[in-house]
Amino acid sequence: MKYLTLHRPIILIVFVLIQVLCSFAQEKPTEIKHDTMLCQGNYFTEDQGREFLAKQRKTYTTAAAWEKRVADIKKQILKGVGLEIFPNKCPLNPIFGEKRTFDGYDVQNVAFESLPGVYVTGSIYRPTKYSGKPAGVLSPHGHWNKPGDVGRYRPDAQKRFAAMARMGAIVFGYDMVGYGQMQEFGWEHKSGQSLKLQLWNSIRSLDFLISLGVDPKRIGCTGASGGGTQTFLLAAVDQRVAVSVPVVMVSAYFFGGCDCESGLPIHKSKDYQTNNVEIAACAAPRPLMLVSDGGDWTKNNPVDEFPHNQYIYNLFGKKENVENVHLPNEQHGYEYNKRAAVYPFLAKHLGLDLSKAVNADGSLNETGIVIEEQKTLYPFDNKRPFPVNGIRKISDLVWK
């Protein structure tokens, strides 16, 4: 009895521990949290990226097998961002500014609602003369946000919009979430909702372009860096993108470093993994051009990413529909030589007039293109004030 009395506390402690351990063993596995499924930045090493593509190639040896893979990729993108079921498409309710006419093109600022009270801001670039239904081009932008060097207001972006309009397309250059005038109103870019909202804004931007009277079968999308990510994500989930040109973004090992690119589990789940090479190839057999350079994560495009996409396009007998222009001595951006590479591709596949943007010797014809001040390209002003129902912070957004 004395022995039991002395050791009773120890016996009780052991008994309690056994009960706790047993209760843990009986619990259901903890649900996987988003942060364990995120693939951000250099998620793979270069060798791991190559190995992943080599392994994946063996799993789709026919067009039908690739189309099944595409269905899985699209499903995970929409599930990962929370768009498995689309919200109701509200009326666009566009607010148009006054047209400004330049040499061969017009510019008109616009804002429309992608969700009630959520405004997408941008500018429309139109050819001064066109008949019938012209082609359309969406142009998202990347993460340039230094004063005087911001998003769609950068000189290279304005030149691109104007040149494509001169070629005969209606071009819509639009702001990323929390950029431009909306940033001044209080919107922030980095947010748990930015990837979801940007993809939704892009889908609604297609709706908007079509509402302007463009040919719904001749719509292209092109942007650089984060705009490249928006380009291939949109092309993967929306078949209305007939031609896609993601610039300096498609990489086997780099997944995008911003919340708007990889802040939700679109690349990975418990039993699933993809990368941006496969996502970009979801466009197959629709025309796709990869533009790469030697100064960023696209440096291996000629030997890794592009051959893999060629392989996929060849499954459809459309190897000629995918191209790569590699500029080994250039850096991250959408500079002169990249524009010179993209215009012929868009002209060929969208039926545009290349002679309006490129001289006979191949040099760009950008004379007469006016680079406007950032605030000149804002849609809201004294005549067109920000609507009273407008949401001023992404934190106030409630999805319905």
Q: How confident is the model at residue 11 (pLDDT cuts 50, 70, 90)?
A: very low
**pLDDT digits 0-9 by tens, 203-241:** 999 999 999 999 999 999 999 999 999 999 999 999 999
Three-state DSSP class for 20? helix
Q: Is 333 left (phi over 0), alpha (psi -120 to 50) or beta?
A: left
> Which CATH fold topology does 95-377 show?
Rossmann fold (3.40.50)
pLDDT of residue 8 exceeding 50, the answer is no
**pLDDT, the chain, mean:** 92
Q: What is the pLDDT of residue 13?
A: 40
Give the whole-angstrom CA distance, residue 230 versus residue 252: 17
CA 333 to chain centre: 15
pLDDT of residue 379 exceeding 90, the answer is yes
Q: What is the pLDDT of residue 192?
A: 87
Pairing of strands 118-127, 145-146: unpaired
pLDDT of residue 312 exceeding 80, the answer is yes
From first CA to last CA, the distance across the chain in angstroms is 69
CA 317, 321, 322, 323 dihedral sign is positive
Residue 145 bridge partners (DSSP): 150
Find the Cα–Cα–Cα–Cα dihedral 217, 289, 77, 38, rounded to 10°: -160
Residue tagged 């994946």 (tokens)? 56
Query: Are the C-beta atoms of residues 43 and 252 closer than 8 Å to each other?
Result: no
Three-state DSSP class for 348? helix
CA atoms within 13 A on the CB side of 16: 6
Residue tagged 């050819």 (tokens)? 127
Residue 139 bridge partners (DSSP): 173
Give the whole-angstrom CA distance, residue 224 versus residue 221: 11
Q: Which amino acid is at 324?
A: N
**pLDDT digits 0-9 by tens, 324-378:** 999 999 999 999 999 999 999 999 999 999 999 999 999 999 999 999 999 999 9
Q: Residue 88: is it exposed, middle or buried by C-beta count within 10 angstroms (0-12/13-18/19+)?
A: exposed
Q: What is the pLDDT of residue 35?
A: 61
Q: Is 269 left (phi over 0), alpha (psi -120 to 50) or beta?
A: beta
Query: Are the C-beta atoms of residues 343 and 365 closer than 8 Å to each other?
Result: no
| For the chain, counts of helices (H) and of strands (E) | 11, 14
Q: How confident is the model at residue 36 (pLDDT cuts 50, 70, 90)?
A: confident
Give the whole-angstrom CA distance, residue 157 versus residue 150: 10
Q: How confident is the model at residue 398 (pLDDT cuts 50, 70, 90)?
A: confident
**pLDDT digits 0-9 by tens, 111-140:** 999 999 999 999 999 999 998 999 999 999
Query: Structural domain boundaries of the chain?
Result: 95-377
The pTM assigned to this predicted structure is 0.90
Closest listed residue to residue 354, CA positions, set 101, 166, 133: 166
pLDDT of residue 105 exceeding 70, the answer is yes
Find the Cα–Cα–Cα–Cα dihedral 100, 105, 107, 113, rounded to 10°: 140
Helix axes 155-166, 336-350, angle to 10 degrees: 30
